Structure 1
């Protein structure tokens, strides 16, 4: 087969290079990526005949798909058999903050890997708190130094260590505790401390980021610690007249058994543009990712420096794009939807320890954070069954969203008359997951294609979302040849239990060799 080609569309602003607190990738797009450039790049990739397009940009808005340039342009790519992977955006952990929600796109959230670049904060009372920092100078002596909280001067916004926040404060030679947030870049906070004469910085998370920390190329000795650690450090400062602290650099530490953990910044579902499609689709490595880098770093003196460690769904998206390329190489005749299905139905719901994947609070992550789960490339290469969708199958779905003929035509790139199309509800699209709004009972059908052993049989396993009763018909599927298709239906009934706004579960088709899982989000109204 011909050599696979993969195109990356990535826009980085200087804020991202400095450890920005960007609420989403929208700001990046507006600054450096006009819509015309994005569309031109996508059109060029399609014209070049690439196999995979990786798009690490987006918007924190959720426009209808016919007004979403990435959705419209990527549909043209999918029509040419091109797989499209997109970043979910960096607006988490709030619900409904996704970007790139179209069902023909793989929407990727971000998780940690089992590597940290450790920097500890040690207090005068002997307490130590694990944190992270990429900048680990060899000549920094880890002696206890006076410790001060930046917010202690009562100046508005001083706790955030923004520009000018420390003017008039006595921080020379001290370790300064700064709070994360306020739209001020993490590295910019360290710059403020350094310019004011501070010797080092402890950066504490805001409550929403909880235990989710990152390794940045800081401009001075620093460590980024959790909110819980920061609260204890503030309490220590208030408990003594002479608080002191030291920064202890521990280098790269491998073997975090809690990995993967969903990053706090990773945008969450449900989808606003199409609530009947579960998004994000999947999560992958997106925290502290080492890669080539074209921008200078302020504290680096090596002119040949060309690598950096950064975080974001812009990092997780290319991981999934690369895996898609590998799957395309192994299975050259699979459609983009089949590749996507293989990834989603084989994804992991458990971490390295075999326990449920956690979020930034270190509690089990919900389905709107993880989607189908964490990518497992080896399993994706042999999924057993796939949920296939051809480009024309999206037209009845789009008509079912209530779009006009003209609006659907914008996406399809040709005239469409919905009156001549059998419109379907969102949940009827042959998607590898389910997102069900439960009032009255609902029944949806799915078709699976056998890409495993020619002679095989599958039995259904159901873990119904709490508050939901599920009936799957038939409960067994039989295949006698490759690429044979089988159809089943699922009926969802609300049981009347009080379970909150949503609950989650899954159904799984199990053979002697394969487990083909479709996760389920049930939303109660």
Structure 2
């Protein structure tokens, strides 16, 4: 472990020093849960520079996508040589249920379930105040005594003390509902009290019911039960609202983030005496792309152990092309509003360690090719002022535009005329095997692949194919149109998202580089 951050920020020199030390120590994978400014060019970004040095020496670098979602073009750490991880939910819930006086039930979550030992399904009056809607009760708190109070979750430290004041004043409990942007993403917190957290949609139901006494002779009431930890919750995974979204503002021809991994309500080891901790023990439940990143770093370590000769690009390819495109209910992976998550939110899909160990075909990229890509940037962007590696001069390298990098996902500009890219796959499966292409695309996207069948006679053999993509009839505010391309054999399915991106302007401002714990 290398400390590169202080209490608030992470100095560029410290980041580079940490990465240099990791390279000298001979590590196999670097896990970086840091996020920075989405506007800094790769040649000026210390993390991108240090990561390139590591990747060029065979070290895989895994980075957090950032916590600025669901805003589009907010993804950070989007250089093509790093593996960028988005955050999703797990099939686990710290379950609690709210029973309304009219017979309806609302399912939520409660991290602190100590109350389960003493609570009973006793019904209490339900209170919602439009004035103190976030539990900021000023002055006399007598109105909360003996009632279950409904409040908006602000996800701030101040609210922890505000809720404690409400409970100290004799409230029977507190129900917190999500902000609208949070949707179905509930970041559970330990409030040391009888607090149940529910979604924004259920919050609207609670507010409506809590204020219904104006038109109803029966006073609103509710009871709470704590159901302990539930597994097998559906749907999962769901993209967390805070997980930063693509497309990349710096490299729109590369799909970022790369892959989705568990990053919501993760039980994690935690230094107990840090000022940032609300816990006094060695573990905490934390949310953020910082939590998703180590999951993928662990998968990388497993793959490196199984295949020590695989390059960082091959390891990335294995993870991306075998990732799950569906959730545990068999449907498409959803976003925080339970709409269909697009590739700019989930990347290639949800990481699947078992399938990644045997991908069949892989897409490799050398350090020279990454450097050739930067040389192309230098020829088209006036603000690119330095090479990633001075030992790789542009005069000796072919200039490779973003879309033509041998990336395991395919991203092109959304245009009515065909845009063609080439890809080369390497056989790491059975020596003799044949793959047939399978294309899935919406009516707004036309995808042609040539050839449609590729055959291999030995392991390590390479085959090249071309993909032509054109888009038409795209309307509304969508930034992308997407489909997929899969090479299918008897034993393997090698799947790549095919994404056509609306050509947009600069990314929105983002804060300075910090850790990406939410």
Q: TM-score normalised to the size of structure 1? A: 0.87
Moved more, 405-414 or 51-60: 405-414
State the 1:59 CA deviation.
Answer: 2.1
Aligned with residue 310 of structure 1, among 286, 292, 296: 286
Q: Corresponding residue for 1:239?
A: 212
Aligned with residue 502 of structure 1, among 475, 480, 490: 480
Alignment size in residue pairs = 493
SS of the aligned residue for 2:35 comes to: coil
Moved more, 280-289 or 316-325: 280-289
Q: Corresponding residue for 1:226?
A: 199
State the 1:230 CA deviation.
Answer: 0.4
SS of the aligned residue for 2:224 comes to: strand
**How do residues 14-25 of structure 1 correspond to structure 2 at under 5 angstroms?**
none
Alpha-carbon deviations, 1:274-303, whole Å to 9, x = none? 1110011000111121222223699x9997
SS of the aligned residue for 1:43 comes to: helix
Distance 2:407 2:455 in 1: 21
SS of the aligned residue for 2:69 comes to: coil
Distance 2:160 2:444 in 1: 46
Relative to structure 1, is the Cα distance of residues 297 and 56 closer, same or farther in structure 2, using a 3 angstrom cutoff?
closer
SS of the aligned residue for 2:13 comes to: helix
State the 1:340 CA deviation.
Answer: 0.4
**How do residues 104-143 of structure 1 correspond to structure 2 at under 5 angstroms?**
104-137=81-114, 138-143=117-122
Q: Corresponding residue for 1:264?
A: 241
State the 1:165 CA deviation.
Answer: 4.9
Relative to structure 1, is the Cα distance of residues 436 and 184 closer, same or farther in structure 2, using a 3 angstrom cutoff?
farther
Relative to structure 1, is the Cα distance of residues 202 and 405 closer, same or farther in structure 2, using a 3 angstrom cutoff?
closer
Q: Corresponding residue for 2:33?
A: 56
Q: Corresponding residue for 2:10?
A: 33
Relative to structure 1, is the Cα distance of residues 225 and 474 closer, same or farther in structure 2, using a 3 angstrom cutoff?
same
SS of the aligned residue for 2:249 comes to: coil
Relative to structure 1, is the Cα distance of residues 356 and 496 closer, same or farther in structure 2, using a 3 angstrom cutoff?
closer
State the 1:494 CA deviation.
Answer: 3.0
Long gaps (5+) in structure 2: 504-518
State the 1:489 CA deviation.
Answer: 0.9
State the 1:408 CA deviation.
Answer: 6.4
Distance 2:262 2:459 in 1: 33
Distance 2:158 2:184 in 1: 18
State the 1:106 CA deviation.
Answer: 0.7
**How do residues 280-299 of structure 1 correspond to structure 2 at under 5 angstroms?**
280-295=257-272
The alignment status of 1:248 with 2:225, answered yes or no, reads yes
Q: TM-score normalised to the size of structure 2? A: 0.88
Aligned with residue 353 of structure 2, among 368, 377, 384: 377
State the 1:125 CA deviation.
Answer: 2.3
Would you say the 8 A contact 1:405–1:418 is kept in 2? no
Relative to structure 1, is the Cα distance of residues 194 and 473 closer, same or farther in structure 2, using a 3 angstrom cutoff?
same
Distance 2:111 2:298 in 1: 25
**How do residues 46-195 of structure 1 correspond to structure 2 at under 5 angstroms?**
46-59=23-36, 61-137=38-114, 138-150=117-129, 152-153=130-131, 158-161=132-135, 165-169=137-141, 170-181=143-154, 187=160, 190-191=163-164, 193-194=166-167
Would you say the 8 A contact 1:133–1:214 is kept in 2? no
State the 1:193 CA deviation.
Answer: 3.6
Would you say the 8 A contact 1:60–1:97 is kept in 2? no
Would you say the 8 A contact 1:466–1:503 is kept in 2? no
Q: Corresponding residue for 1:43?
A: 20
Distance 1:488 1:189 in 2: 61
Would you say the 8 A contact 1:345–1:518 is kept in 2? yes
State the 1:202 CA deviation.
Answer: 1.0
**How do residues 188-207 of structure 1 correspond to structure 2 at under 5 angstroms?**
190-191=163-164, 193-194=166-167, 198-207=171-180
Alpha-carbon deviations, 1:309-344, whole Å to 9, x = none? 222111111000000000000000000110000000
State the 1:465 CA deviation.
Answer: 4.2
The alignment status of 1:518 with 2:492, answered yes or no, reads no
State the 1:399 CA deviation.
Answer: 2.1
Distance 1:325 1:370 in 2: 22
State the 1:216 CA deviation.
Answer: 1.9
SS of the aligned residue for 2:302 comes to: helix
SS of the aligned residue for 2:133 comes to: helix
Would you say the 8 A contact 1:408–1:416 is kept in 2? no
Considering Cα pairs closer than 8 Å and 6+ residues apart, tell me whether 1 or 2 has the greater RCO: 2
Q: Corresponding residue for 1:22?
A: none
Relative to structure 1, is the Cα distance of residues 247 and 189 closer, same or farther in structure 2, using a 3 angstrom cutoff?
farther
Relative to structure 1, is the Cα distance of residues 206 and 460 closer, same or farther in structure 2, using a 3 angstrom cutoff?
same
RMSD (Å), alpha carbons: 2.7
SS of the aligned residue for 2:468 comes to: strand
SS of the aligned residue for 1:89 comes to: coil
Aligned with residue 445 of structure 2, among 468, 490, 497: 468
Long gaps (5+) in structure 1: 1-6, 12-28
Moved more, 417-426 or 441-450: 417-426
